[in-house]
Structures are given as structure tokens and as C-alpha cells.
């Protein structure tokens, strides 16, 4: 803290210390400045941002496709894959495509989706309920939050 001084005097002090005079808040009255090595400051800031990006985990959306005529064993295998995705921290999109006359029996498709969720409910929470959207039934699952 050097107190209030003129811009010329502040520049002279910065030059003597071989540092930069940086305005911190130029809109204040009087403007607040700091004497620092601006190149080093920018370098440290970029290094911090790079470290934050490195530690950030990207959550992916994985998809599991079912059909109206799927057998129980096939559902179990797909559930096993979905559990693997969920334990890795990814979200899972469960889609069931209806073809032809199957569209008339969409309630059966929703039942299959709920049956699938019954197999993975220890690892997942329903983010979006099973819902008919055109020819597909979609349901979104998210990993259970860690306690």
C-alpha cells in the first residue's frame, strides 16, 4: 500500500522496480493500480486454467437400445453394460424402437423400459421417465449420487 499518488510517480516507481503498473479497477475514484510482473501473472493464470481443465471430468451420454421382442437374458446383458457405464459416471439413454404394428402396443414398450430399470436401479436414478416420442420410447438414467 503506497497510498494515493500521481500516475507519473507510480510509473516512475514501477520503472525503478523493473515491473509493470497494472490498473486493477480503472473505474474507481481514484483508479486502483498495482505494481507487478504482468508476464508472470498471465503465465500463472494460464497454468491455473490448464490445471482446472485437466481435473474436469466430462460426463458422456451412452446409449442402450432395446426392442419390443427382446428376451429376458438379452435385457440382463444390456443392463450389465448400462451398469458399467453408470459406474464410470456416465449418463445412459435407453431407447426402444417400435416398428410397424408395435406402435399400437406402446404400453408394452414402457413396461420393458421399466423392467430394464428394475435391473439397474441399485446403480441409477431416473433422470427422465420412459416416454413415447414418435416411433421411439426414450428414458434417461443418471448414476446414483455417492453418499
Q: For the segment 80-126, what is each residue's pLDDT rounded down to a tens digit?
A: 999 999 999 899 999 999 998 988 999 999 999 999 999 998 999 99
Please state the domain extents for the chain.
7-55, 61-143
Element (H, E) at 93: strand 91-97
> d(Cα 53, Cα 107) in Å, to the nearest integer?
44
Name the CATH architecture for the domain at 7-55: Roll (3.10)
Q: For the segment 51-84, what is each residue's pLDDT rounded down to a tens digit?
A: 888 887 777 899 999 999 999 999 999 999 999 9
> d(Cα 25, Cα 6) in Å, to the nearest integer?
16
> d(Cα 11, Cα 22) in Å, to the nearest integer?
10
Per CATH, the number for 61-143 is 3.30.110.10
Amino acid at each position: 500500500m503506497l497510498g494515493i499518488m500521481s500516475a507519473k510517480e507510480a510509473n516512475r516507481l514501477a520503472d525503478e522496480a523493473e515491473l509493470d503498473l497494472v490498473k486493477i479497477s480503472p473505474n474507481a475514484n481514484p483508479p486502483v493500480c498495482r505494481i507487478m510482473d504482468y508476464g508472470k501473472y498471465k503465465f500463472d493464470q494460464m497454468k491455473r486454467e490448464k490445471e482446472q481443465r485437466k481435473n474436469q471430468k466430462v460426463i458422456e451420454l451412452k446409449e442402450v437400445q432395446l426392442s419390443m421382442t427382446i428376451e429376458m437374458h438379452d435385457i440382463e446383458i444390456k443392463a450389465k453394460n448400462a451398469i458399467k457405464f453408470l459406474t464410470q459416471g456416465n449418463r445412459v439413454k435407453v431407447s426402444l424402437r417400435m416398428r410397424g404394428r408395435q406402435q399400437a402396443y406402446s404400453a408394452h414398450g414402457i413396461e420393458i423400459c421399466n423392467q430394464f430399470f428394475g435391473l439397474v436401479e441399485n446403480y441409477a436414478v431416473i433422470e427422465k421417465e420412459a416416454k413415447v416420442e414418435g416411433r421411439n420410447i426414450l428414458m434417461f438414467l443418471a448414476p446414483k449420487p455417492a453418499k
